[in-house]
Amino acid sequence: MALRRRLLAALSLFTAATLAGCAGEDGGLQSPKMALIKARGQLVCGVQGTLPGFSSVDSNGRYRGLDVDICRAVAAALLGDPQKVEYRDLTPSERFAALASGEVDLLSRNTTLTLSRDAAGGNGLNFGPVVFYDGQGVMVPKARGITSIHDLRGKPICVETGTTSEMNLADRMRELQLPYTPLKFQTSDQSYAAYLQGRCAAATTDRSQLSAKRTGFPNPEAHVVLADVLSKEPLAPATVNADPLWSDAVRWIVYALMQAEEIGITQANVDAKVAMAKQDPNQADLRRFLGIDGELGRHLGLPVDFAAQAIRAVGNYSEIFERNVGAGSVLKLERGLNRPWSQGGLHYAPPFR
């Protein structure tokens, strides 16, 4: 039952805290989480699971999406094999307890980075780099004649419980002094089912998610995402606070994907680039990045060629974006803010040195 399952997740956190021994021995450069993942031979990754473009199961039973590719990149960098991932579908309200209790190693589940989720006094997570800059939007059926958020006065709006969408909706509607009825559901499937049945005048969540879900509707053309943007939604992978080495490793694996786009390394040319860099001792930056010189990977507790491994598995950020949510996908989202900084976007990897 829902209650039992949710309680279990929270209680396992409670129990873990109750029974955990007096940890805190100085382990040097040893990350307990990374040691566990290596011993297990598998990365357990928490995903949404039903969101086309970010994480969903394709007709062959394989997980696909931008969030999934982050999991695959981390598995490739750490274990040398992008297949060594076990995916767990999590609801918005399960996700943090699942991460805190150690049920998943990495949360790559279109999760918005906020202060209270990051802070030790709040959810106590550790966020990696933002992998998708999003904003909250509102979707309505075209036939209803709603053109802006102001037309939703007094109307029921479907929203998922345990999300930033729920809070932003409350804030914006209060700001605009618009009374409304929030209808809250635990999973996105329930929320969209109620919306499609006509119980809600609108559904609200991140704009990318609205576009993604719309592709699965019986008649996608009958629905439109309003121009109103309710909030900033930077989506980022997260790990627990307690293991900074693991968090650092995830952060730099994601940065490696962005750096690869910036310097033009792709899934197709990565091996050629490695061979070329090996020949040419003058390519200092490239040699460090690909692990030919220096020990950058070792500093993180990863193999020296972690960046090359990740790129070989999933390609650079641009390839991941276009394949899953961009031109090469059904979503056809614009890159917008998700371009690299050199092209006017927000993705910026710090130096690999």
Strands (E), 90-177: 106-107, 125-127, 132-141, 156-160
Q: How many residues bind another protein (CB under 8 A)?
A: 53
Both structure tokens of 143: 């036939």
Distance of CA 213 to the CA centre of its chain: 16
Shortest Å, Cβ 17 to another protein = 4
Q: Which of 62, 142, 153, 199 binds another protein (CB under 8 A)?
A: 199
* 222 touches another protein by CB under 8 A: no
For helices 66-79 and 244-262, the axis angle rounded to 10 degrees is: 110
Q: Which of 80, 102, 135, 156 binds another protein (CB under 8 A)?
A: 156
Cα distances from 344 to residues 12, 27, 232, 296, 333, in angstroms, run 45, 42, 18, 28, 17
Residues composing the chain:
353
Stretch that binds another protein, among 102-110, 184-192, 208-216, 322-330 (CB under 8 A): 184-192
User: Which CB sits closer to another protein, 171 or 295?
Assistant: 171
Q: Which of 88, 184, 232, 299 binds another protein (CB under 8 A)?
A: 184
Among 180, 192, 246, 306, binds another protein (CB under 8 A): 180
Interface positions, 62-101, toward another protein (CB under 8 A): 92-93, 96-97, 100
Tokens in use for 139? 């979707």
> Could you tell me the two tokens for 34?
């990374």
Helix (H) or strand (E) holding 148: none
Positions that interact with another protein (CB under 8 A): 1-3, 6-7, 10-11, 13-14, 17-20, 22-24, 92-93, 96-97, 100, 116-117, 120-124, 156, 161-163, 166-167, 170-171, 173-174, 180-186, 190, 193-194, 197-199, 241-242
